[in-house]
Amino acid sequence: MKRISFILGSLLLATPVFAQSVGEKTGVNSTLGIAPTTADFVKEVAVSDMTEIAASKIGQERGNAEEKTFSAQMITDHTKTSNELKALVADGLKGEIPPGMDDASLKKVGKLRDAKASDFSSDFDSMQVTAHKDAVSLFERYAKGGDDPRLKDWAGKTLPHLQHHLEMAQNLGKKK
């Protein structure tokens, strides 16, 4: 009986942390406007940057002139944010940089890599819009309600760049 009580108690204590991670992973936190935990934010930003860089490398190879220019900017900017985030984590910020992309990101990049030439621009452009909408939401929520002051400040300073990326992504293919 003591063993069952201990297990149940442990699960109850772990549930809030687990729920926050699940909430971020499933998009519930975004829908409700809830700030991610520092650990979730660090992981999501790192994976987002890795995914953006990988997708943009494909964009440089397969995209039209506009997509190649956009991709070069994304590689530069997302490499910069990755390096800044790594420096914050190395300086004692709670959170870990994952060693690589998660399965969902690998699938997105794989789909882009395997897209037919006739579908590439449509797939790439829509992926960029979705990715940058998600990034803007993530950074807005952490900048407003995150629990680490240094990371909140960094999120707030980075947010305008991501909003600009979103505008650029939304304008892909709309050049007159």
Q: Where are the alpha helices (DSSP H) in the chain?
A: 2-26, 28-32, 38-62, 65-90, 103-114, 117-145, 149-171
Model pLDDT, residue 34:
80
Model pLDDT, residue 143:
96
The region of weakest confidence among 7-21, 22-36, 112-126, 130-144 is 7-21
Mean pLDDT of 133-161: 96
Dist CA 94 CA 151 (whole Å): 10
CA distances, 77 to each of 37, 74, 89, 158 (Å): 24, 5, 19, 10
| Structure confidence by residue, pLDDT tens digits, 152-175 | 999 999 999 999 999 999 999 886
Tell the residue number behind the tokens 């700030």, with chain if given: 35
- The average confidence (pLDDT) of the chain is 86
| Structure confidence by residue, pLDDT tens digits, 19-73 | 335 555 555 555 557 889 999 999 999 999 999 999 999 999 999 999 999 999 9
By C-alpha distance, which of 103, 101, 94, 124 is closest to 112?
124
CA distances, 68 to each of 76, 122, 132 (Å): 12, 14, 17
What b/e sequence results for 87-106 when a residue is b if at least 16 CB atoms lie within 10 Å of its CB, and e otherwise? Answer: ebbeeebebebeeebeeebe
Within the chain, all domains assigned CATH 1.20.1260.10 are found at: 35-171
Model pLDDT, residue 12:
39
Neighbours of 70 (CB within 10 A): 23
Model pLDDT, residue 163:
98
Domain 35-171 superfamily per CATH: Ferritin, core subunit, four-helix bundle (1.20.1260.10)
Neighbours of 23 (CB within 10 A): 18
By C-alpha distance, which of 136, 138, 143, 130 is closest to 161?
136
pLDDT at 15 over 90: no
Model pLDDT, residue 35:
87
